[in-house]
Amino acid sequence: MESPRIIAAVARTVRDVAIAEELAQDALVAALEQWPRDGVPDNPGAWLMATARHRAVDLIRRRENYARKLQEIGRDLETTAPPEEPSALRDPDDIDDDLLRLVFTACHPILSPEARIALTLRLLGGLTTPEIARAFLVPEPTVAQRIVRAKRTLATKNVAFEVPYGPDREARLGSVLDVIYLIFNEGYAATAGDDWLRPGLCEDALRLARVLSALMPKEPEVHGLTALLEFQASRAAARTGPSGEPVLLEDQDRRRWNRMLIARGIKALGRADATATGAPGPYALQAAIAACHAHAYTYEDTDWRTIATLYGLLSVRSPSPVVELNRAVAVSMTDGPRAALDIVDAIAAEPALRDYHLLPSVRGDLLARLGRTEQARAEFARAAELTRNEREREMLRRRATETR
């Protein structure tokens, strides 16, 4: 939980995200060694932060291949705390948040879009390389190379740890929104591990989206993303059962949906509509889809026709096989499973979906509704083999067993 904050704060001082990540790891190792013996300090976060700064001095002294500027910073850290910029001198358009500062730095245009997102997910979200690969639907070695090269590029190009202004900020905004969205998604439905939800990631992503929304009140897609995350977060309490097992949308107790978050989502979506000067962007469209679910007090009340239409618009605005797969689900509720199965079969050969467990999961559901139970069971079993989340695997195996 503390790791991204330590990395962000230390990076602001040493101006190198790779070194900052190493210092944060050193501090965490020190905690694992000392806390069992000495007890957990009253303020663990402050202890970790101070330890990371002290380690910076030791590490800089040990390694002669560090740049001269980092040696100077290390000597300064030994005797003085980093000076705080007087509030009166701060730019009113600045972002007073180290985590967001780290996001914008990692999303520098000298990096490819894929590298920007992968690096920030690693540093800010604390995601592992396999988790990021799953989010990208690309091989793990590819993600690992992107992260290593991105760190090296930021260091060799001496990229400043700062928030850009004007056109530079606009140029990085798309990647920043994508990063926040992917971090939330990993918390909303974990790609691997024993837990279906990782609430900490959802909270961090939602907080970042809200801060960004306040910073950029005239950006419709910022409000669209914020609305989407508010709506999705509102369902969190109903998405797992007593033992942590996943609960599908149609089976959720909607009385457990957080109406305050839904109200916030409606307000943010209104701001996205009010600030838009043209057709809605991808995040605003996804938020509108989420709003349809939020407005339905029962699963049967869902306006699937509007949802299918919105997915059609989204497939034009931001085409991808995953969007088409989601559109197929909506179409199945309006035009029946046969029409939806045609859509799914049309994208089944897409390389990005080859190992995507939700493809056979959706296909299994459609086949079951068509009475083709043997094929449905096989699809659910295949989906269970593809997922690396234990809770999801149990649910898919159960669906395979219960399909009759």
Amino acid at site 228: L
**Per-residue confidence band for 18, with pLDDT thresholds at 50, 70 and 90:** confident
pLDDT of residue 86: 42
Residues in the chain: 404
User: Could you tell me which residue, 262 or 203, shows the higher pLDDT?
Assistant: 262
**Per-residue confidence band for 197, with pLDDT thresholds at 50, 70 and 90:** confident
What tens digit of pLDDT does each residue of 51-61 get? 998 877 676 66
CA nearest neighbour of 73 among 135, 12, 148: 12
Average pLDDT over the chain, rounded to an integer = 87
Average pLDDT over residues 375-402: 95
pLDDT of residue 249: 95
- Give the residue ranges of DSSP H helices in 234-371: 259-275, 282-295, 304-317, 321-334, 337-347, 358-369
**Per-residue confidence band for 296, with pLDDT thresholds at 50, 70 and 90:** very high
Q: Angle CA(29)–CA(35)–CA(37) in degrees, nearest 5?
A: 115
* C-alpha pair distances (Å), 169 with each of 94, 123, 173, 219, 263: 11, 20, 6, 12, 29
As a whole number of angstroms, the distance between CA 27 and CA 31 comes to 6
- Res 72 pLDDT > 60: yes
- Res 89 pLDDT > 60: no
User: Could you tell me which residue, 188 or 71, shows the higher pLDDT?
Assistant: 188
pLDDT of residue 311: 97
Backbone phi, psi, residue 145, to 5°:
-65, -40
pLDDT of residue 85: 45
The separation between CA 132 and the C-alpha centre of its own chain, rounded to angstroms, equals 9
pLDDT of residue 5: 80
Average pLDDT over residues 45-67: 74
User: What is the percentage of the chain residues whose pLDDT exceeds 90?
Assistant: 56
Give pTM, 2 decimals.
Answer: 0.76
The separation between CA 43 and the C-alpha centre of its own chain, rounded to angstroms, equals 28
- Looking at 84-88, 100-104, 280-284, 375-379, which range is the least confident one? 84-88
Using the structure block, give the residue that is written with the tokens 């083999």. 385
- Res 24 pLDDT > 50: yes
Amino acid at site 281: G
Residue 21 in tokens: 């990540």
What tens digit of pLDDT does each residue of 113-146 get? 889 888 988 887 677 888 888 766 688 999 999 9
What tens digit of pLDDT does each residue of 158-171 get? 888 877 877 877 77
Residue 192 in tokens: 């691997």
- Res 350 pLDDT > 70: yes
- Res 13 pLDDT > 80: no
pLDDT of residue 74: 66
DSSP code of 300? G
- Res 87 pLDDT > 50: no
**Element of type H or E holding 193:** strand 192-193
**Per-residue confidence band for 75, with pLDDT thresholds at 50, 70 and 90:** low
- Res 196 pLDDT > 50: yes
